[in-house]
Amino acid sequence: MTIRTRVLKDGRQSVFFDIFNDGVRSYKFLKMYLEPEKSAAARKRNADIMKQVEKIRTELALELTYSRAGLEDRSFKSGIRLVDWMDQYEQYQGRNGGSKGFRYNIISTRNYLEQYNSEIILKDVDGKFIDGFIDFLKKQTYTRGEENRKLTHNTICCRIRNLHSALNFAVREKLIAFNPCLDAETRVDEQECKKTYLNVEEVKRLIDTPCSSEILKRAFLFSVFSGLRLGDVRNLTWRHLVKDGNNWRIEIRMQKTKEMLYLPLNMMARKWIKAPEKYSLDDKIFKGLGVSFREPMSAWMKDANITKKVGYHTSRHSFAVLALDAGVDLYTCSSLMGHASIENTQVYADIMTGKKVSTVALLDNVLD
């Protein structure tokens, strides 16, 4: 079920659903309209309308799902305990290359769920349960040194995302028909957090600075110039690399979104791909790239005189900022990064990049 719009003669957009069910396409017009966004008030009204549309879509999808299954209740759902399902989900991620950090977050979410309600089974998880779990997380504390602290807003968001992903997996495995996270009345909007990125001069210093792990250096700088996530870089094989004359590209199904990505490689990215004398198509391009490299990464940054807190994902942030600084439009940047929505890329455009700095600097002498 896809949300679509159609432009009307008066400039408004009519919102409707494009529904493909059991091989049959149909349309449901909602008699709801988006205005041209010429003011903040119009943007707010449109945002409110889209929230209503999403709610209608959720309810209609649930109705169609149960109608298609010929069921009036949820008794067909799995009777497995939710915490046991979280264990299985974490093990699945381990078998399929999920990062150590991501799996740690799943385990942490599982432990909080056990504290909240260890006995609830998958079929009984609903929006009310999830709202209660959110409230429970807001009251939790942890100890750092001698100080007790509450979980941060973004930590709570991360735990809810982990639960949401695990329930999506249960839907794919046909244990449940619908992700009950979509029923939750309470929404936890993730606050924008500062994204660490490297500027051009810092990247140059990293190129010139030796690293104790050569494979880490090559993989990290490859991501700086390609934007690929660590999981995708780790899974990258020579079969994924397509050479068409002087043009190189990566064709890979992304681990996070499961979508295909067709990524042209620039010369700077290609520089860090080094083929051995003998290899098979199924060999990893960055063979030997470990799961944890905090120590060599920290030492490398220190030797390059970079004081920022840098993790592998910093390379992806750096790619986005460098690309936008170089004049790549937002849509193209979003496509290159494999983002599900252009809104995910917008946050990088809001960073004070070099282009913004040079632009506002034009005003320095405006009154001279």
What CATH number is given to the structural domain containing 223? Answer: 1.10.443.10
> Does the reported pTM lie above 0.75?
no
Cβ-based neighbour number of residue 300 at 10 Å: 21
Do both 217 and 277 map to the same domain? yes
| Integer Cα distance of 210 and 212 in angstroms | 7
- 259 burial via Cβ count (<10 Å: 0-12, 13-18, 19+): exposed
Do both 167 and 214 map to the same domain? no
For position 48, what pLDDT does the model report? 83
Over the chain, what is the mean pLDDT?
82
Do both 267 and 298 map to the same domain? yes
Do both 242 and 301 map to the same domain? yes
Q: pLDDT (tens digit, 9 = 90+) per residue, 281-320?
A: 999 999 988 767 888 999 999 999 999 989 888 999 899 8
Do both 59 and 104 map to the same domain? no
Pick the last residue of a domain from 27, 46, 69. 69
Q: pLDDT (tens digit, 9 = 90+) per residue, 144-175?
A: 666 788 888 878 888 988 998 899 888 888 78
Do both 152 and 270 map to the same domain? no
| Integer Cα distance of 177 and 169 in angstroms | 11
Pick the last residue of a domain from 21, 43, 69. 69
Q: Taking a C-beta distance cutoff of 8 angstroms, is the pair 314, 198 a contact?
A: yes
Structural domain including 304 reads 200-359
Q: Quick check: is 100 in a domain?
A: yes
| Integer Cα distance of 291 and 93 in angstroms | 14
Please state the φ and ψ torsions of residue 47, each to the nearest 5 degrees. -65, -40
Do both 157 and 125 map to the same domain? yes
Q: Find the helix packing angle between 100-117 and 127-138, rounded to 10°.
A: 100
Q: Quick check: is 9 in a domain?
A: yes
Q: Quick check: is 365 in a domain?
A: no
**Tally of domains within the chain:** 3
| Integer Cα distance of 14 and 11 in angstroms | 10
Token code pair at residue 210: 């030796």
Q: Quick check: is 233 in a domain?
A: yes
Q: pLDDT (tens digit, 9 = 90+) per residue, 32-61?
A: 889 998 888 888 888 888 888 887 777 677
Q: Taking a C-beta distance cutoff of 8 angstroms, is the pair 238, 285 a contact?
A: yes
